[in-house]
Amino acid sequence: MSNISVAIGADHGGYGLKTDLLPFLNQLGIKVLDLGACTYDSADDYPDFALAVARKVACGQTDRGIIICGSGVGACITANKIKGVRAGLCHDVYSAHQGVEHDDMNVLCLGARVIGIEVAKEIITAFLNARFTGEERHKRRLEKLLQAEKEG
């Protein structure tokens, strides 16, 4: 897992969980690019952080992304607006690894008001350890998704 680079960002709703997760991510030995929020600001907006993370993943500057807001929903919707990003909202371990294995998910969205630190650690570990299977059926489905993205 130490070869993976991850961009992480959170608005005020996810700030506390992100801050608590940073030492854990560093312990995993992965390269972490923290895109904020750097301080708690109740007036900040999740799209700013979601877009920053999504753009780093889309351009290849990082392998994966993690975005945290209150529910994870707004961050997920926003991240998926960026071409090349396949963001999934995951509040369980199965979805976190299956999303990568079957759908080549590259951005994990979490809701800090939905899950706690220990569950978040398990989900992140599953997400970061997972790899796209490359099975024919998964590649076929991914190609259809990429074609839809291209067509708009």
User: Residue 87 is inside which H or E element, if any?
Assistant: strand 87-89
Q: Which ranges of 6-151 does DSSP label H, i.e. alpha helix? A: 12-27, 46-58, 73-79, 93-103, 117-129, 136-151
Q: Where are the domains of the chain?
A: 5-151
State the average pLDDT for the chain: 96
Tell me the pLDDT band of 1, cut-offs 50, 70 and 90.
low
> What percent of the chain clears pLDDT 90, i.e. is strictly above it?
96
User: CB-based burial of residue 132 (10 Å sphere; 0-12 exposed, 13-18 middle, 19+ buried)?
Assistant: middle
Nearest alpha carbon to residue 5 among 49, 58, 64, 47: 64
Top CATH class of 5-151 equals alpha beta
User: pTM, whole model, 2 decimals?
Assistant: 0.97
> Which residues does the annotation mark as catalytic?
69, 102
